[in-house]
């Protein structure tokens, strides 16, 4: 059994949870008119209101004890100093170096990585300028109008989410598309829209061996050559982002057109590296650097602030509080900012691929919950889909509301209703509506028989992260906030958040099954379900 659960800090939280088990948040608010002031924090132009949670000052102190007892300050220092904290892959996790706008030297194996980071940023700048200014020409001499990023996982979700969120900063001539799915339908749809003469493909893959990405990239190249009828066209229409020069060459992309990054950048932490090329080319390098600056500000806050006033620490610890002491198993992410509609999908990989682990760093099985299931959509749409369950279902579901005061759209005046809904939902979740209030509200309209249906238990926790209008800086800070939240939680759970061995088995079995689908292999050794399914597929072909 892992030692986390045996620690006095963990045990103290178990006892404390029992004392709070019947406490209603509405009573906590009534008892303390200063509750918002006590349980909110502003950092990097983001307001974090964590007052609508089942917690007191004592809860936070006990959670901070747990973080300290788990060595959070030590692990934080080791991460920022380039130690090989990703133990199973024997490497550092240094995404913070990619956005280290102060240029403070950061050493990996005794070597400062900042000069290399800055060289790649310069190469990206020159490329982005050439594309944006119409100097990078396609094979037939026309400027680029469409960018297609081919990648999956971290080589897709981050770039896609950010590019979508910062559409207001897009160069007016450039349209950017993201192709990730192995089903050719996605690529087909994109290729039916874009023009081969004016399209640039960015093949983004850390390993340059990912089946989905290479399959899609080969098909895209085939499509290009069918239209342009000249092998040399590939040079003008394909660039690569990878850590693996040899594989890029083998694919047929000129290493001159390759943007490098390093094994100490995890896939889901890579939008800050050249994997962010699709973002940079769409919104321009200056705006991309603003994104990096926002993340760097949050890094500095996380690195230097005491745990008590540290936003990623608080956000992470509140999550631990619910997962481990209230037994919750999911976490909702609810953006009230349409620009961030893809954020829940991005956070699914960030959180679940990082912390969806069942053994500690040393390989000891854990006996407590680690990462919750992360889910959500644009909040306003969710209200008309699954909020029913949040208000009257049987599960305790912590929710993060991410709220922009101003929309990316400057007209039509929808924003007051948006804000009213966001505030009302968190308030309704917290307060609920008891019998007396229901009677007073509904009066004669209440059908006695159906009274239980009209009651709201309340006491449902939520965080609010609120900012003015989303800018590249704020978005950078927000993403870094969640990255560090995930790190804080990993430390409390004693796990390595930077590997992802759980994705391997399915990949291996798919490779083994492919010959059976291509009709080459004997299917006798598979389980009866797989055999039956293979037979069904063959029957319909
Ligand atoms: O299969 C999971 C994963 O390895 C992710 O961690 C990664 O973001 C994704 O695949 C894509 O990998 P690559 O960038 O090497 O193609």
Closest alpha carbon to 372 in 489, 499, 482: 489
Residue 205 Cα to ligand 1 middle (Å):
7
Query: Distance between CA atoms of 122 and 116, rounded to whole angstroms?
Result: 10
Catalytic residue numbers, as ranges:
353, 384, 507
Listed in sequence order, the DSSP H helices in 32-166 are 35-38, 57-69, 72-80, 95-98, 114-132, 157-165
For a ligand 1 pocket test, name from 267, 347, 352, 503 the mutation site with the most ligand atoms within 8 angstroms of its C-beta. Answer: 267
CA 208–ligand 1 middle distance (angstroms): 9
User: 214 C-alpha vs ligand 1 centroid, how far in Å?
Assistant: 12
Atom of ligand 1 nearest to the CA of 210: 16
What is the predicted pLDDT for the residue at 421? 98
Contacts of residue 471, Cβ cutoff 8 Å, sequence gap at least 6:
290, 294
Rounded to the nearest angstrom, the distance between the alpha carbon of 490 and the centre of ligand 1 is 20
By the 8 A CB rule, do 201 and 138 touch? no
User: What is the distance between the alpha carbons of residues 417 and 36, in angstroms, rounded to a whole number?
Assistant: 23
Please list every protein residue whose CB sits less than 6 Å from any atom of ligand 1: 152-155, 205-207, 210, 213, 267-268, 353, 500, 503
Q: Please report the pLDDT score of residue 3 as a whole number.
A: 77
Low-confidence spans in the chain with pLDDT less than 70:
1-2, 520-524
Q: Give the residue among 499, 96, 112, 467 at the shortest CA–CA distance from 303.
A: 96
The DSSP-derived string for 172-233 is TT-EEEEE--SSHHHHHHHHTTS-GGGEEEEEE-SSS--HHHHHHHHHHHHHHHHHH--TTH
Name the phi and psi angles at 520, rounded to 5: -95, -30
pLDDT of residue 524: 65
* Ligand 1 midpoint to CA 209 (Å): 9
- The pair phi, psi for residue 172, each rounded to 5°, is -65, -25
Reduced to 3 states (helix: H, G, I; strand: E, B; else coil), residue 334 is strand
- Which residue's alpha carbon is nearest to atom 10 within ligand 1? 153
Atom of ligand 1 nearest to the CA of 500: 6
Which pTM value belongs to this model? 0.97
End-to-end distance of the chain based on CA atoms, in angstroms?
Answer: 50
DSSP notation for 219-276:
HHHHHHHHHH--TTHHHHHEEEEES-HHHHHHHT--GGGEEE--TTS-GGG-TTTGGG
Atom of ligand 1 nearest to the CA of 270: 8
**Dist CA 356 CA 127 (whole Å):** 37
Q: Tell me what pLDDT residue 1 has.
A: 57
pLDDT digits (tens, 9 = 90+) for 52-74: 999 999 999 999 999 999 999 99
**Tokens (6 digits) for 356:** 């969806």
What's the 155 CA to ligand 1 centre distance in angstroms?
A: 7
In which residue are the tokens 């019947």 written? 22
Side-chain half-sphere exposure of 123, counting CA atoms within 13 A: 21
Residue 157 Cα: closest atom of ligand 1: 8
Query: Ligand 1, residues 89, 95, 152: which to mutate, most atoms within 8 A of Cβ?
Result: 152
Quick one: pLDDT at residue 412?
86
CA 213 to ligand 1: nearest atom? 16
Substitution site in 158, 160, 210, 260 for ligand 1 pocket (most atoms within 8 Å of beta carbon): 210
């Amino acid at each position: 059994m892992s030692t986390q659960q045996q620690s006095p800090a963990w045990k103290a939280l178990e006892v404390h949870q029992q004392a709070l088990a019947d406490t209603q948040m509405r009573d906590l608010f009534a008892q303390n008119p200063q509750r918002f002031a006590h349980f909110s924090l502003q950092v990097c132009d983001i307001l974090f209101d964590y007052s609508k949670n089942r917690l007191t000052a004592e809860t936070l102190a006990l959670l901070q004890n747990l973080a300290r007892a788990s060595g959070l300050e030590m692990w934080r220092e080791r991460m920022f100093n380039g130690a090989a904290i990703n133990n199973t892959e024997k490497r550092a996790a240094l995404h913070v170096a990619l956005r280290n706008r102060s240029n403070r030297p950061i050493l990996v194996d005794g070597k400062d990585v900042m000069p290399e980071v800055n060289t790649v940023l310069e190469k990206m700048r020159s490329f982005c300028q050439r594309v944006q200014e119409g100097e990078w020409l396609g094979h037939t001499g026309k400027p680029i109008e469409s960018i297609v990023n081919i990648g999956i996982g971290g080589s897709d979700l981050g770039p896609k989410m950010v590019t979508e969120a910062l559409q207001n900063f897009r160069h007016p001539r450039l349209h950017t598309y993201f192709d990730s799915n192995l089903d050719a339908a996605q690529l087909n749809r994109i290729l039916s829209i874009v023009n081969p003469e004016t399209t640039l493909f960015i093949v983004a893959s850390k390993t340059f061996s990912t089946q989905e990405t290479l399959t899609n990239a080969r098909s895209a190249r085939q499509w290009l050559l069918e239209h342009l009828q000249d092998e040399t066209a590939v040079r003008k229409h394909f660039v690569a982002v990878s850590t693996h020069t040899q594989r890029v060459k083998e694919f047929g992309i000129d290493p001159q057109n390759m943007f490098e990054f390093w094994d100490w950048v995890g896939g889901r932490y890579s939008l800050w590296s050249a994997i962010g090329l699709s973002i940079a080319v769409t919104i321009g390098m200056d705006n991309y650097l603003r994104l990096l600056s926002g993340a760097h500000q949050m890094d500095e806050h996380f690195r230097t602030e005491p745990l008590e006033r540290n936003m990623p620490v608080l956000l992470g610890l509140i999550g631990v509080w619910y997962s481990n002491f209230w037994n919750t198993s999911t976490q909702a992410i609810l953006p009230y900012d349409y620009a961030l509609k893809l954020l829940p999908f991005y956070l699914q990989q960030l959180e679940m691929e990082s912390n969806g682990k069942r053994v500690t760093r040393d390989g000891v099985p854990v006996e407590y919950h680690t990462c919750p299931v992360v889910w959500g959509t644009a909040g306003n749409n969710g209200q008309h889909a699954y909020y029913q369950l949040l208000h009257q279902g049987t599960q305790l579901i912590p929710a993060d509301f991410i709220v922009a005061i101003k929309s990316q759209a400057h007209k039509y005046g929808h924003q007051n209703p948006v804000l009213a809904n966001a505030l009302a939902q968190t308030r309704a979740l917290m307060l609920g509506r008891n019998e007396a209030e229901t009677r007073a509200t509904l009066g004669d309209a209440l059908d006695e028989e159906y009274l239980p249906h009209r009651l709201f238990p309340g006491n449902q926790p939520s965080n609010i992260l609120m900012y003015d209008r989303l800018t590249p800086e704020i978005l950078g800070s927000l993403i870094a906030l969640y990255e560090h939240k995930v790190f804080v939680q990993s430390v409390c759970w004693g796990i390595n958040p930077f590997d992802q061995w759980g994705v391997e088995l399915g990949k291996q079995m798919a490779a083994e099954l492919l010959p059976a689908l291509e009709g080459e292999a004997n299917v006798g050794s598979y389980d009866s379900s797989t055999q039956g399914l293979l037979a069904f597929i063959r029957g319909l072909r």
